[in-house]
Structure 1
Amino acid sequence: TLNAPETINRIISFFPPHQHEHVRVLLSATLVGVISLRLLPRADGKGRVPAVEVMINNQTIRDYLLDPIKTMDIPQLIQEGSSQYGMQSFDQSIMKHYRDGLITYETAIQSVTNPDEFKLRLRGIESTDSRGWETFDPTTTKK
């Protein structure tokens, strides 16, 4: 799957529609987390590097799992939960790999969820959705 919400929806889709609500309740109570992986070509051409999305099931995620509409907003929660819960979005992982020189700019742009936002972030311009990017921004110092 492409990301955590898609993984969750795929699990739910294995069940008949009349059981979806019950499956969401079970998932919200028992799911520990979701780890999604994309293998990106290395900048040096020697293999691939994993871009990893990590979702940890906390109370807010549980609430979003229960609502089919809110489930699609989980990527924002993952991004915002990077420093507090150890979560990481694909875009955050890709940014780190790019800044570490492991992947090329072209690979990064082709792989991120929102290329325009990624380009702005590389130039140091933050959007309204910047919460959770502090640990991935080399200009930000941790206190």
Structure 2
Amino acid sequence: MDSKILNQILEIAFAKRVSDVHFEVGSPPFFRAHGQLLRSKLANLTAEDTQFIAATIMKNNKRNLPDDFTEFDASYSLANSGRFRVSVFKQRGHIGIVMRVIPPEIGSFSDLKLPKVLGEIVKAPNGLVLVTGPTGNGKSTTLASMINYINEKYAYNIITIEDPIEFLFSSSKSCVIQREVGIDTTDFGSALKASLRMDPDVIMVGELRDVETIDACIKASETGHLVFSTLHTQNAASTINRIVGNFPPDSQKIIRQRLADILVATVSLRLVESKDGEKLLPVVEVMRTTTTIQACIREGNLNDIESHIEKGTAQYQMQSMDQHLIQLCNKGLISMREAKRVSNSMDLERKLTFT
């Protein structure tokens, strides 16, 4: 393995629009396309190959590969502007690497098949907006689209704190400052505190990883800033439960009250295979924090949230995951089998027959 071969593999991945490239000792490179993992016909990788790839990635980030690392995240750029988010890790004593392809352009809501109501959500003057979902289901892409919408429409100071930086923003109407953990700042908490002294209007935090980051984001929202972040949760109710559960039991009541006051919306995503098997489509739950939902959060009645989302479709353009799945089924875009695979509901087919 050398730099030329590595970059050729990554250029192919970029050109073929695969989502991920896997490098593991004893196997050839694997590519993920349309959700399926495909084994390449290249030679099996050696320990020296993956060691070289990891060291090359670190050199690209102007860092050295630590001898005692267990895992870390980074980014990698090709000369033709192709970019990748990289996860480097140890497995069975060897180095493994997974590289996520970052699209060259930030898609609009229309390009990404996202609900138009996201354009209303980002108009909030302050508060907290959360984009949630499992790994690899479009959180970063959706968040980038929302930030870029603000960038193109409003004259704001936008600060992003990421680990690593994924999409590169060019300042348009807004001024965009992007900071990478490990290179531009030591950690999310320090960067968040510093960002409040940088005249921000909008702050984007790549992920709510710990209680300190969650608390700092809530405080930033309470002091008049619009804050965006992500969580690995399935829907609005599990998102609220996860945030509150990070705090000690004796402080959870006050956290629910604070969260009810500042939460603007949650946008929860899953990618599903289209009926023709040619592409992946987003299924999106959108919850906006109405006064009724605020009461649910304050009182801990999270099981009632989904029904309030479904009742708020006409007035607030909210939608549950099941409502969107049914829409996609009725339009012939996805199969019932695929809808049932994603849905948490036991009576999706019954709901479909009554639409």
TM-score (norm 2): 0.34
Give the Å deviation of 1:59.
0.5
AA of the residue aligned to 2:312: G
Q: Give the residue type in structure 2 aligned to 1:84.
A: Q
Rounded Cα–Cα distance in structure 2 between residues aligned with 1:58 and 1:3: 16
* 1:102, distance to aligned residue in structure 2 (A): 1.5
Matching residue of 2:317: 86
The match for 1:122 is 352
**Partner SS state of residue 276, structure 2:** coil
Residue of structure 1 equivalent to 2:276: 44
SS of 1:33's equivalent in the other structure is: strand
Report the equivalent of 1:8: 240
Q: Distance in 1 between matches of 2:352 and 2:264?
A: 32
**Structure 1, residues 93-126: CA drift from partner, whole Å, max 9, x if none?**
101111112111111122223242x2223333xx
| Structure with greater strand percent | 2
Q: 1:18 aligns with which of 245, 250, 253?
A: 250
1:123 & 1:5 partners in 2: Cα distance?
26
Opposite residue 318 of structure 2, the aligned amino acid is: M
For these two proteins, the number of residue pairs brought into alignment is: 123
Which consecutive unaligned segments of at least 5 residues does structure 2 have?
1-232
Residue in 2 that maps onto 1:97: 328
Match of residue 337 from structure 2: 106
Give aligned-pair identity as a percent: 37
Residue equivalent to 1:53: 285
| Separation of aligned partners in 2, 1:88 and 1:82 | 6
Match of 1:27 in 2: 259
Unaligned runs of 5+ in 1: 125-136, 138-143
How far did 1:3 drift? 1.0
Q: Distance in 2 between matches of 1:47 and 1:17?
A: 44
Provide the rounded CA distance (Å) in 1 between the counterparts of 2:274 and 2:320.
19
Deviation at 1:67, TM superposition (A): 1.3
SS of equivalent to 1:32: strand
Alpha-carbon distance in structure 1 between the residues aligned to 2:269 and 2:351: 22
CA separation in 2, counterparts of 1:49 and 1:2? 16
Distance 1:31 1:18 in 2: 21
Structure number with the bigger relative contact order (C-alpha 8 A, sep ≥ 6) is: 1
Task: Give 3-state SS (helix, strand or coil) of 2:333's partner.
Answer: coil
Structure of larger gyration radius:
2
SS of residue paired to 2:309: helix
Q: Secondary structure at the residue paired with 2:324? A: helix
> RMSD of the TM alignment (CA)?
1.3
* One-letter amino acid matched to 2:252: H
CA distance in 2, matches of 1:109, 1:25: 35
Structure 2 Cα separation of the partners of residues 57 and 30 of structure 1 = 9
Counterpart CA distance in 2 for 1:93 and 1:10 is 24
Range with bigger deviation, 42-51 or 24-33: 42-51
| TM-score relative to the length of structure 1 | 0.80
Question: Which letter does structure 1 place at the counterpart of 2:329?
Answer: Y
Distance 2:245 2:351 in 1: 35
